[in-house]
Amino acid sequence: MHILLIEDEPKTGKTLKQGLEEENISVDLADDGLRGLQLALGLPYQVIVSDIILPKINGLDLCRQLRSNGNKTPLLLLSALHDTSDKVAGFEAGADDYLAKPFEFRELLLRIKALARRYQPYNTQENEILQFEDLTMNLDAKTIIRGGKKIELTPKEFDLMAYFIRNQGRVISKTELAEKVWKIDFDTGTNIIEVYVNYLRNKIDKPFTMKYIHTVFGSGYTLKKEVDAD
């Protein structure tokens, strides 16, 4: 595996690089966001690991620039900030995973391997339009319309809604959503999935009488046409 590590603290960067290389992972190390961006855009990597607080370009802006340039390499953000709002900001910037400092090296290793193993971007060429009742998603144009009304979704909200439509009618667990939408192992200590489902409900269901996103208590969520009793 060949990864890019962007870390401006010399001792931390050297330690992580050495540890990963002992696990047979080839590591390119950049000590600022600008250099990291240049490497990421110029070379193929299986995973990018970046601190958020960096000189020249911070991790969030780096992530945004990569995604705007069409780079879909799985990206793991590292940060001492670990509130739900901080994680949301990371995911909305385009990150695939978020690991709060301090962390165990073994946890970092597992996250990197999971991203490299699970990352399989959807082939939108096969199915550009997703449909559920009066809700239509155009995967190519990144638009969603319900009842003739255009709804603005953030990138991660869009991915989550697309997964719901692809799996309409069946119960989807939080673990499955974490693995398939976020490409990460589900952390029972975080409420990030509940937060995003609530975001979707406010945009997709709240303005309409008929509700689509339903909680199946103890099991997860399901997309179906039904008046919500919860």
pLDDT in tens, 59-114: 999 999 999 888 889 999 998 876 788 888 888 888 988 888 888 999 999 999 98
Segments of the chain with pLDDT less than 70? 82, 118-127, 184-189, 227-230
Separation of alpha carbons 199 and 202, rounded Å: 5
Residue type, 42: G
Q: What is the pLDDT of residue 85?
A: 84
**Sequence ranges of the domains in the chain:** 2-118, 129-226
Q: What is the pLDDT of residue 87?
A: 85
129-226: what fold?
Arc Repressor Mutant, subunit A (1.10.10)
Q: What is the pLDDT of residue 123?
A: 42
Q: What backbone torsions phi and psi does residue 96 show, to the nearest 5 degrees?
A: -100, -20
Q: Which long-range CB contacts under 8 A does 93-96 form with residues at least 24 apart?
A: 93/59, 93/60, 93/61, 93/63, 93/64, 93/67, 94/63, 94/64, 94/66, 94/67, 94/155, 95/63, 96/182, 96/183, 96/184
2-118: what fold?
Rossmann fold (3.40.50)
